[in-house]
């Protein structure tokens, strides 16, 4: 079978990717819920193909500050995971886990950022473990890179890395929040075209 291009993605393939995203995100949210001691609700995974110019509204206001943890995925896929927490959510996570009383992201020190990185690391491990089980693909991750910046700026790096010649990106997006109103964020898996083909081929053997 020749290489497929995600611009020509079928409804069946979209459903496959949604199912993979739901299972992987569900596993990650279970881990996060245990970590912070609360129940999390997540949206149904959404498969999107967007032009770079249209990415600014994915994480809300492009000029709003968020905590973004970028994690490169290696092995059988060339992909990137992005865990994006609203600034207020990042503050609440740090205060909850460290017993602190930080009121602004500008006050974060190295320990605070380390806690957020470890949170991203745990989530990435849980997400990819489920994806590995579901697809059979061998996956590994980099150490998370954390950035406190405007949403548009945080998305600029994966946009440059993963956009095709037509300036489009393929990603699986899951939004989540918790019942105690501590967390509000988004989990995004960004795939290049070759990785899209590998995931679809792998899922086609099982679904």
Tokens of 63: 């000029």
Q: CA-CA distance, 14 to 11, in Å (whole number)? A: 5
Nearest 5°: the CA angle 133, 7, 15 is: 40
Q: What is the mean pLDDT of residues 70-99?
A: 90
pLDDT beyond 90 at 109: yes
Q: Model-level pTM greater than 0.85?
A: yes
Q: CA-CA distance, 183 to 199, in Å (whole number)? A: 30
Q: Which of 79, 76, 74 is nearest to 170 (CA)?
A: 79
Q: What is the mean pLDDT of residues 143-170?
A: 82
Cα 150 to the center of its chain, rounded Å:
17
Confidence band, pLDDT 50/70/90 cuts, at residue 205: low
pLDDT beyond 80 at 66: yes
Q: What is the mean pLDDT of residues 145-154?
A: 85
pLDDT beyond 60 at 82: yes
- Residue 46's Cβ-count burial label (10 Å; 0-12, 13-18, 19+) is middle
Q: Which of 189, 178, 154 is nearest to 93 (CA)?
A: 178
Q: Which domains does the chain have, with CATH numbers?
A: 6-204 (3.40.1550.10)
- Concatenated DSSP letters of 95-106: HHHHT----SGG
- From 75-79, 130-134, 156-160, the region with the lowest mean pLDDT: 156-160
pLDDT beyond 60 at 194: yes
Q: Which strand (E) or helix (H) includes residue 23?
A: helix 11-36
Confidence band, pLDDT 50/70/90 cuts, at residue 203: confident
pLDDT tens per residue, range 23-33: 999 998 888 88
What pLDDT is recorded for position 2?
64
Within 10 angstroms of residue 78's Cβ, the number of other Cβ atoms is: 17
């Amino acid at each position: 079978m020749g290489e497929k291009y995600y611009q020509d993605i079928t409804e069946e393939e979209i459903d496959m990717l949604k199912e993979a995203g739901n299972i992987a995100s569900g596993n990650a949210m279970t881990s996060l819920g245990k970590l912070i001691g609360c129940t999390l609700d997540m949206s149904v995974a959404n498969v999107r193909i967007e032009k770079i110019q249209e990415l600014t509204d994915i994480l809300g206001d492009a000029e709003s500050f968020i905590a973004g943890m970028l994690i490169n995925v290696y092995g059988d896929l060339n992909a990137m995971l992005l865990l994006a927490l609203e600034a207020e959510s990042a503050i609440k996570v740090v205060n909850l886990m460290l017993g602190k009383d930080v009121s602004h992201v500008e006050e974060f020190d190295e320990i605070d950022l380390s806690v957020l990185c470890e949170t991203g690391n745990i989530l990435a491990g849980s997400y990819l473990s489920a994806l590995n089980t579901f697809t059979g693909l061998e996956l590994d991750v980099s150490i998370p890179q954390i950035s406190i910046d405007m949403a548009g700026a945080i998305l600029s790096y994966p946009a440059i890395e993963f956009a095709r010649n037509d300036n489009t990106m393929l990603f699986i997006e899951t939004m989540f929040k918790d019942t105690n109103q501590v967390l509000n964020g988004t989990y995004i898996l960004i795939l290049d075209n070759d990785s899209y083909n590998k995931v679809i081929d792998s899922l086609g053997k099982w679904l």
